Structure 1
Amino acid sequence: MKLYQPAYFLKHRFVFAAILLLAFAGTGVPQEYIIGPGDVLAINVYEHPDLTTESQVDDNGTIRFPLIGELRVEGMTVSGLSEALEKKLADGYIINPQVSIIVKEYRNRKATILGQVNSPGLYELKGRTTLLELISTAGGLTEDAGQYAYITRMGTAHSRETDGDVIKIDLKKLVEEGTTDQNVLIHNGDSIFITKMEKIYVTGEVKYPGAYPYEKGLTVIKAITNARGFTDKASATGVQIIRKENGKERVLDRVRMDDLVKPDDVIVVPESFF
């Protein structure tokens, strides 16, 4: 039985590609990157070459900087560290200091992505990595990819819809609506799971019998419409649903067009005898 890919991935494939291009388009140092032990930072103070340094963040999360001494930087963003250094240098050392920072080497950071991607596995994160970038690195979504991605993040809470430290991402909103706030940054140690698409099946006297994506609120008539409607031989009053319940199949007769469909339902459209 032919599987029809989710409408939001087919209809908006160019939107998805555009978002991916935007995700990779940024240049320079990503300001949202969180500094941690092992990172090598190239720090430049404008018009003060004597203060230009290259420092590796030690295991305690600190660096040493001229005039200031030891400074804890673990957990700071690149822009946050720039502002902190400017503030400290302005306190009796330099008038209106301007600090720029480049992360020359990133520490060893990895994340796992499983489920409905073409190449699931463990991947190294090179610098700032978003969900879309990691999906792309993992070969993209499969045809069976569902609507949601779940990110398990250890040792932190997240403001987006969460259950403890599990972040739920709506891929439909991200791809179809371009809701870029769903394109979260991936952290070291994250585990991402891409769900499998729930399906229903339409068979018998419809123009395109096959498997179709299940969506909440899907009715019988909508499912038949997705299958391009009845054939000329169809009996619209004899539609049945084969439904699995408690491991057993049962046949539902007297099906109405506005009845709701459940995942894995098989809608059978019989041939009319008249």
Structure 2
Amino acid sequence: MKRFLIILAILLLFAPPSFSATQNYVVGEGDVLNLTVYEHDDLTMSVRVSGEGTISVPLIGDVHVQGLTLGQISRKITALLADGYIVNPQVNIFIHEFKSKKATILGRINRPGLYELRQHTTLLELISQAGGLTKGAGSKAIIKRKRSSGPDEEQVITIDLKKLIEAGDTSQNIQVIGGDSIYITTTAVYFVTGEVKKPDEFSLDGETTVIQAIARAGGFSEKAARSRVKIIRKTDAGKQVLKRVAMDRQILPNDVIVVPESFF
């Protein structure tokens, strides 16, 4: 998680300026816009995009804005006001509340759910907004995206989280768009409990021995019975207990390594 936060901070530091990104934001139903007209305070307002995709502007009435960028809306209102109402109007439109575009993120994430997207929200930004990855998060994010060719057609995008977070590969940090459904995969895990310094759940990254697993858990405590380590393993037949296991034994997904207390 610490590595994730460092990479995220670096990527956000070198993000492009937000103004141009905001001006290219495509407005939808529910968004709240701030409208200002230079030297016309009576036209300064906040207005919500209606279910019909319109906003109401004094002098010119309802203006259809859904599907337009902020820049396009500004030019449209400028032209309407200039048509017999205001000489050389200077119109500015800014987004006040992002409400129209949402994406779902599920799986190994701390706060799974539905999130509103701001401007050009990237995958890392959404992961951060959702509280970051949980322990046991896999190396892939699966994004299901609706194709413009039809509501029932989906595009599936696979993102390599290891390249993105550990290697800082920004090509993996794609923009999330409205309607995206993102699933953070699960990696294989194992558990270390008993007389170790940091008992916990750990991701199983490749071949791992018992002693390596215990080392990741901080090593043996002073009370550990090192010669009586056992593994509780799930099998098709049920639970299997392997006693006095060798330290160089390979562990399997979902193994529970138990380090008992020494009585001496």
- Of 105, 109, 115, which residue of structure 1 is paired with 2:107? 115
Please say if 1:256 is aligned against 2:246. Answer: yes
Contact 1:29 1:103 in 2 (8 A): no
Match in the other structure for 2:151: none
> Aligned residue pairs: how many?
203
Deviation readout 1:34-93 (Å, 9 max, x if unpaired): 9797123647xxxxxxxx9549xxxxxxxxxxxxxxxxxxxxxxxxxxxxxxxxxxxxxx
Written as runs of structure 1 = structure 2, the 5 A alignment for 1:29-68 is 29-30=20-21, 38-40=67-69, 42=71, 53-54=75-76
Q: 2:201 aligns with which of 200, 211, 234?
A: 211
Q: Match for 1:229: what amino acid? A: G
Which letter does structure 2 place at the counterpart of 1:256?
A
Give the share of equivalent positions with the same residue, in percent.
45
Select the structure with the greater relative contact order (CA < 8 A; seq sep ≥ 6). 1
**Aligned equivalents of 2:231, 2:167: Cα separation in 1:** 33
8 Å CA contact 1:40–1:54 kept in 2: the answer is no
Give the drift of 1:268: 1.9
- Between the aligned partners of 1:169 and 1:247, the Cα distance in structure 2 is 36
Q: d(CA) in 1 for partners of 2:229 and 2:111?
A: 40
Is 1:19 aligned with 2:48? no
8 Å contact from structure 2 (residues 3, 165) kept in 1: no
> Which consecutive residues of structure 1, in runs of 5 or more, have no partner in the other structure?
1-8, 44-51, 56-101, 157-163
Q: Deviations over 1:199-243 (max 9, x none)?
A: 322123333333333323222121111122224554444332111
**TM-score normalised by L of structure 1:** 0.58
**Correspondence for 1:229:** 219
Structure 2 residue aligned with 1:166: 156
The Cα of 1:12 is off from its aligned counterpart by: 5.0
Pairwise CA RMSD: 3.8
CA distance in 2, matches of 1:267, 1:15: 32
Once the two structures are TM-superposed, the CA of residue 137 in structure 1 deviates from its matched residue by 3.2
Residues 81-230 of structure 1 correspond to what in structure 2 (within 5 A)? 108-138=100-130, 140-141=131-132, 143-144=134-135, 146-147=137-138, 148-155=140-147, 165-196=155-186, 198-230=188-220
- Return the letter of the residue paired with 1:130: T
Return 5+ residue gaps in structure 2 as ranges.
Answer: 28-65, 78-91, 149-153
TM-score (norm 2): 0.60
Q: Report SS of the residue matched to 1:165.
A: strand
- Cα distance in 1 between the residues matched to 2:70 and 2:220: 65
1:47 alignment partner in structure 2: none
Q: Aligned with 1:29: secondary structure? A: helix
Contact persistence 2:121–2:176 (CA under 8 A): yes
Query: Partners of 1:172 and 1:103 in 2: how far apart?
Result: 39
Q: Hey, what does 1:242 align to over in structure 2?
A: 232
Taking a change above 3 Å as real, the CA distance of residues 254 and 137 of structure 1, as seen in their structure-2 partners, is closer
Alpha-carbon distance change, 232 to 122 in structure 1, aligned in 2, over 3 angstroms:
closer
Write the distance in 2 (CA, Å) between the matches of 1:13 and 1:41: 32
